[in-house]
Amino acid sequence: MSREMSEGQRAYEAKRAARAGMSLDKWLARKDRERTAEARAQTEAARPAPPPRKPGLLSRLLDRAHKPL
């Protein structure tokens, strides 16, 4: 973890890691990976959708064929 934890925080995380059946280091690494994945998902969601694509040749020809003369 990039920031330092107090003794109380370290003890709390150690209890949670023990309950999950992991070592403290593995637990903190997993939490860090989940945090970065969540941040990445939020940036992906914030990205605007790509503009709609222009219809292909066949679609344009069929649309034109269905229009009345």
Q: Quick one: which of 14, 44, 8, 6 has its CA closest to 31? A: 14
Annotate the chain with three-state secondary structure.
Answer: CCCCCCHHHHHHHHHHHHHHCCCHHHHHHHHHHHHHHHHHHHHHHHCCCCCCCCCCHHHHHHHHHHCCC
- Asked whether the whole model's pTM tops 0.85, one would answer no
pLDDT of residue 28: 95
Model confidence over 23-61: pLDDT tens digits?
Answer: 999 999 999 999 999 999 999 888 888 899 999 999 999
pLDDT band at 20 (very low <50, low <70, confident <90, very high): very high
Alpha-carbon span 5 to 31, nearest angstrom = 14
**Residue carrying structure tokens 């992906």:** 44
pLDDT value of position 1 = 45
Q: Is pLDDT at 2 greater than 70 in this prediction?
A: no
Please state the rounded mean pLDDT for residues 7-23.
95
